[in-house]
Amino acid sequence: MLLNGKVAIVTGGTRGIGFEIVRKYLVNGAKVVLFGSRQETVDKALEKLKEENPQWEVSGMWPELTDALKVGEAVREVKDKYGKIDILVNNAGISQSTPLYDYTTEEFDKIISLNVCALFYAILPAAKIMKEQGGGCIINTSSMVSFTGQSSGVGYPVSKFAVNGMTVSLARELGKDQIRVNAVAPGVTRTDMVAALPRQTVDAISAKIPMGRPGEPEEVADAFLYLASDMARYVTGEILSVDGACRV
């Protein structure tokens, strides 16, 4: 098992890509604490996982991710419970497709707050713990739009360009502390986030995917497994695309 004995935090772990990351980490021997937005969705996800395997060591919390104090408390609670944090996955995120002239500044602030600031709020306490214990691994969820931009909903690509910037910069800063920092950039992946987009948008993008279909959450989760494992022990500062070569 690739993650035997490792302790992981996965934000946005209640559904979609995050849920599959949690599953994959548990299957590979990790102990996982998933961070969700509400107790009900966290409980539902935990129930599903325990049904699959009652032996899995998994629990959940729902700190407000855009509140630095609450996130710091939650991260330190995980350390107190397990004595360490080996892996932090910053996966929670929202998307936007609002045309510029319809945007409100509140809407723009909201996406930056969750997709960018919340990552920093989790990384700060986690990196301090990882440094103290002699190393660790941080994986952020980016997007294919972090390379291409998108034609509507500018807040989303802006947030994901920032995720890439945070990833490569922190990889350079934290390498000396044996903390690896990488990101996974999924393409169109079949989750609720994509289901919420207009049908024509999804069809138009899917038609341009060289592999001819959207990705599955578990296919994206495999990249998170690789990056968290010792197979990637010398990989840091990497933005790993999992998108069927889609660059639209």
Q: Give contact residues for ligand NAD (rule: CB under 6 A).
A: 12, 14-18, 36-37, 41, 65, 91-95, 114, 141, 143, 186, 188-189, 191-194
Q: 28 vs 41, which CB is nearer to ligand NAD?
A: 41
Nearest distance, CB of residue 76 and ligand NAD, angstroms: 18
User: In angstroms, rounded to a whole number, what is the distance separating the alpha carbons of residues 68 and 18?
Assistant: 21
Which of 190, 141, 183 is CA-nearest to residue 12? 141
Q: 98 vs 133, which CB is nearer to ligand NAD?
A: 98
Q: 59 vs 83, which CB is nearer to ligand NAD?
A: 59
Nearest distance, CB of residue 144 and ligand NAD, angstroms: 6
User: In angstroms, rounded to a whole number, what is the distance separating the alpha carbons of residues 123 and 131?
Assistant: 12
Which of 233, 229, 236, 184 is CA-nearest to residue 28? 229
Nearest distance, CB of residue 231 and ligand NAD, angstroms: 22
Residues 6+ apart with CB under 8 A from 248: 148, 205, 208
Residues 6+ apart with CB under 8 A from 64: 70, 71
Q: 70 vs 131, which CB is nearer to ligand NAD?
A: 70
Q: Is 156 a catalytic residue?
A: yes
Nearest distance, CB of residue 70 and ligand NAD, angstroms: 11
Decide: helix, strand or coil at residue 2.
coil
Nearest distance, CB of residue 174 and ligand NAD, angstroms: 21
Do residues 243 and 187 lie in contact, with contact meaning Cβ atoms separated by under 8 Å?
yes
The catalytic position among 101, 103, 156, 226 is: 156
CA distances from 51 to 3, 47, 55 (A): 21, 6, 10
Q: 132 vs 203, which CB is nearer to ligand NAD?
A: 203
Q: 51 vs 192, which CB is nearer to ligand NAD?
A: 192
Nearest distance, CB of residue 211 and ligand NAD, angstroms: 14
DSSP states of 39-105: HHHHHHHHHHHHHH-TT--EEEE---TT-HHHHHHHHHHHHHHHS---EEEE---------GGG--H
Pinpoint the alpha helices (H) of 113-211. 118-133, 145-148, 155-174, 192-195, 199-207
Decide: helix, strand or coil at residue 135.
coil
Report the catalytic residues.
Answer: 156
